[in-house]
Amino acid sequence: MSAPSAVSRTAPIAIAPKPPRFPPSRQGSISIDHYRNFRNGVDSPDSDSPNGYPAVSCEACIHRRLDCVMSDDDDSCVSCQMIGVDCSMAQSPPLRKRKLNGEGDDSHSKRSSPGRSDNRRRRHHQPSLSSTAASSSLIEEMANFGGPTLLKRTLGLQSDRFSQYIGPTTDFEPSLINLSSFNPQDESLLARGTLRKVSDNDTFLLLPDGNTPGYAHILEDVDEIESIVAPHGSKLIELYFRVIHPAFPIIQKTVFYEKYERSYREFSPPLLAAIYILAINWWDHSEDLAPLPRPNVRELERLVRGTLADAMYRPKLSTIQAGLLLSQRPEGDQWAPTAQLVAIGQELGLHLDCSNWKIPPWEKGLRKRLAWALYMQDKWGALVHGRPSHIFSANWAVQALTANDFPDVEWEENDVEEKTEIERGRTLFSQMVQLSLVLAEILETFYTLQATQAVSNAGTQGTQLVLSLAKPIQLKLKEWYAALPPAIRMDSTFQGSSTLLSRLSSIGYLHLAYFATEITLHRCIIRSIDAIESNTAPGASTRVDPYIKHICRSAAKARLISAMDFVNRLTPSHLRAFWYFASKTNFALIGTFGSLLWATSPGREEADWYRRRLGEYRWTLSVSSKPGEGKGLTEFAMGMLDITTGLLKQLPEKPLLSRSGSVADIDAARRQSLLALGGSAVGSMSGISSMGAMEGFSGLPSGEASGGQSPRSLESESSDEGMYGNFSATAGMAGLAD
């Protein structure tokens, strides 16, 4: 591929009879350099589109100095149809045609993809120009294919320009921007750059790539990246889309395959390197690659660090994709890069509602998926690193995801497994977004500096305050879990191909995230109780009501048992699959929560119970960490568990409490609470009478009787209902319920 064009693209694209003039050497012919300025597709802003144009242009296009693009349903070109003139190509011999791409189906190719058959059938056919629907949306249709059209509408995917969102407080005054003269492409050339107006209220500044660091070395970098993995690049791409993409769909698969078949040079270097780095983690799961030596991952990481740093000077959607993929590495969950990605996303306007922007439909869908992936990265990063989040609801206008935002709508007609994986992946990603919204509410409600100070200021009423705030969030978690589609429940299995690789399931990371969210909520409740107990003299009336304390600790214990049971039920098909970056810390949080309950246990019996269960949990983690089954995923959790249990050895010995006496004290406290609350409370308490079945401090029947596995399954809806009912009643006893 030759060097980039020297033609400046900061000027608006002319549509008048005076089109932009090219250098003499480019007049009358279409060179490869000329094609570097074409923007074709979603995933690579540095893409070329050298295919699909007739060798000879029609007379009208030659006169107007346009490249001729043929229609699908007749022999005239698209340009002539648009201006309503007779096309000279209608009387010419048939030429090779280029299809227009339909909404959400960008740049599909009839060529086979790596690992695909040549007779692949499309689920959705491209619309015809002769149809009413296609005619009414012709502008959007033309915006969906690459080429030098006058209606090119991409914003964050241009090959030689990058965009910067113009905020309301910058040196650009919005009212003055509206005074600028915009051409039909909604662009206005200024001395500082080109303004691009995408809606009545949102404007971007387009700047040339050529003035940014590292631009001259893009081809050199991508060549070096490809040489490191050669000749296994296509196999790694196949691994990526087989293992990672279904659970984390931030790339448009069909477009990627088409581009990769033409040339790896069509991708930005950091994006291509990030895909290779992630795919290499499943090197041993490919029969073709397993016997061969692995590529030099360290060298790939060196290149991706440099190229991604350069790409941040000219940020595009591919920059966000590369950053998000790199963050999914076991060692990639660092907080500082997350902050950079959030800043770049704001630069690109990902925090805005793009539903009514003047951009192609597929770019709207891609922006929404990347925006929510960035949102999740920020929220889960804030959780696992214990840092303040960078994204707040007051500055977040992205709409909820819909099925139309996921563009990969094709599969082999007879490949039921592929269809199932595509649908499951969409559901998994969408449900993770919904769970992340609940997590964000928990972090905002309980873990900001202001929130923790409010609980501290409440003193002995701190637990009541926490319970009143926790109740509606707990109900949201209950409703979220109850509404999970069957396809992504833990008991859902798909019996398809006999190869293990085709049966890998990433649904485990969603359920683990659910338990981490529950634990995050219950941690603040247990902390509030412990804070009051630690600062109050024994026997004082200002201590937490024993019955409320018992219910809260029993509910927390139920979540710990369920979480440990979940980990114990993971199979190789789960452990070998793709896991979201926060998963290794989420495994550790289960052990941390158990350690907290151990440390705050009032008596020796309960403390010993948690000690034994944590020992069982460590054994489960060690089994899950055997080579080829989540190696590295659970090792971090084991290390943290060893640290926390080591710290617990410094605790003073717990008192030996009488089991029967403890139960009697709790029953007496319950009766006293009922009398204090009055007869109206009796009805509300009847729903939690089953709490008496929670023997002593064991909360739920211990797993010791069943070989260390809890009888309470994650899918036990009735058991969940009882636990949540108990939690609501707890808030009711404190005088804070409905």
> pLDDT digit string (tens) for 197-236?
999 999 999 999 999 999 999 999 999 999 999 999 999 9
Give the residue carrying structure tokens 């089953």: 690
Number of other CB atoms surrounding residue 355 within 10 Å: 12
* SS3 call for 548: helix
Out of 405, 438, 463, a domain closes at 405
DSSP 8-state secondary structure symbol assigned to residue 401: P
In this predicted structure, what is the pLDDT of residue 605? 92
Most confident of 132-146, 421-435, 506-520, 645-659: 506-520
Range in 275-279, 332-336, 537-541 the model is least confident about: 537-541
Q: Is residue 511 part of a domain?
A: yes
The domain containing residue 656 runs over which residues? Answer: 416-733
482 pLDDT above the threshold of 50:
yes
720 pLDDT above the threshold of 70:
no
Range in 175-184, 267-276, 535-544, 672-681 the model is least confident about: 672-681
Question: What is d(CA 523, CA 546) in angstroms, rounded to the nearest whole number?
Answer: 18
| 394 & 449 share domain | no
| 472 & 427 share domain | yes
Q: Is residue 32 part of a domain?
A: no
Q: Is residue 153 part of a domain?
A: no
| 433 & 502 share domain | yes
The CA distances from residue 256 to 32, 116, 263, 684, in Å, are: 20, 13, 10, 57
In this predicted structure, what is the pLDDT of residue 627? 54
Out of 382, 405, 428, a domain closes at 405
Q: Is the dihedral of CA 270, 276, 277, 279 positive or negative?
A: positive
| 369 & 433 share domain | no
Range in 142-146, 200-204, 506-510 the model is least confident about: 142-146
142 pLDDT above the threshold of 50:
no
Out of 373, 405, 437, a domain closes at 405
Over residues 248-270, mean pLDDT: 87
Range in 143-152, 264-273, 593-602 the model is least confident about: 143-152
Domain count, the chain: 2
In this predicted structure, what is the pLDDT of residue 19? 37
Over residues 419-444, mean pLDDT: 93
In this predicted structure, what is the pLDDT of residue 146? 42
Question: What is d(CA 699, CA 697) in angstroms, rounded to the nearest whole number?
Answer: 5
| 518 & 560 share domain | yes
Q: Is residue 30 part of a domain?
A: no
Confidence of residue 279 (pLDDT cuts 50, 70, 90): very high
Q: Which helix (H) or strand (E) holds 204?
A: strand 203-208
| 398 & 431 share domain | no
Q: Is residue 144 part of a domain?
A: no
The model's pLDDT over 189-208, given as tens digits with 9 standing for 90+, comes to: 999 999 999 999 999 999 99
Confidence of residue 542 (pLDDT cuts 50, 70, 90): low
In this predicted structure, what is the pLDDT of residue 74? 57
Q: Is residue 655 part of a domain?
A: yes
In this predicted structure, what is the pLDDT of residue 321? 96
| 621 & 723 share domain | yes
The model's pLDDT over 295-351, given as tens digits with 9 standing for 90+, comes to: 999 999 999 999 999 999 999 999 999 999 999 987 777 899 999 999 999 999 999
Number of other CB atoms surrounding residue 735 within 10 Å: 11
| 718 & 607 share domain | yes
The CA distances from residue 444 to 62, 91, 411, 439, in Å, are: 61, 68, 41, 9
| 396 & 453 share domain | no
The model's pLDDT over 360-386, given as tens digits with 9 standing for 90+, comes to: 888 899 999 999 999 999 999 999 999
Over residues 510-536, mean pLDDT: 93
| 504 & 558 share domain | yes
Range in 311-315, 415-419, 450-454 the model is least confident about: 415-419
The model's pLDDT over 543-593, given as tens digits with 9 standing for 90+, comes to: 788 899 999 999 999 999 999 999 999 998 999 999 999 999 999 999 999
| 521 & 389 share domain | no
Q: Is residue 484 part of a domain?
A: yes
| 530 & 649 share domain | yes
Q: Is residue 175 part of a domain?
A: no
The model's pLDDT over 13-59, given as tens digits with 9 standing for 90+, comes to: 333 333 333 333 333 333 333 333 333 333 333 333 333 344 466 76
Q: CA 47 from chain center: how many Å?
A: 24
In this predicted structure, what is the pLDDT of residue 415? 66
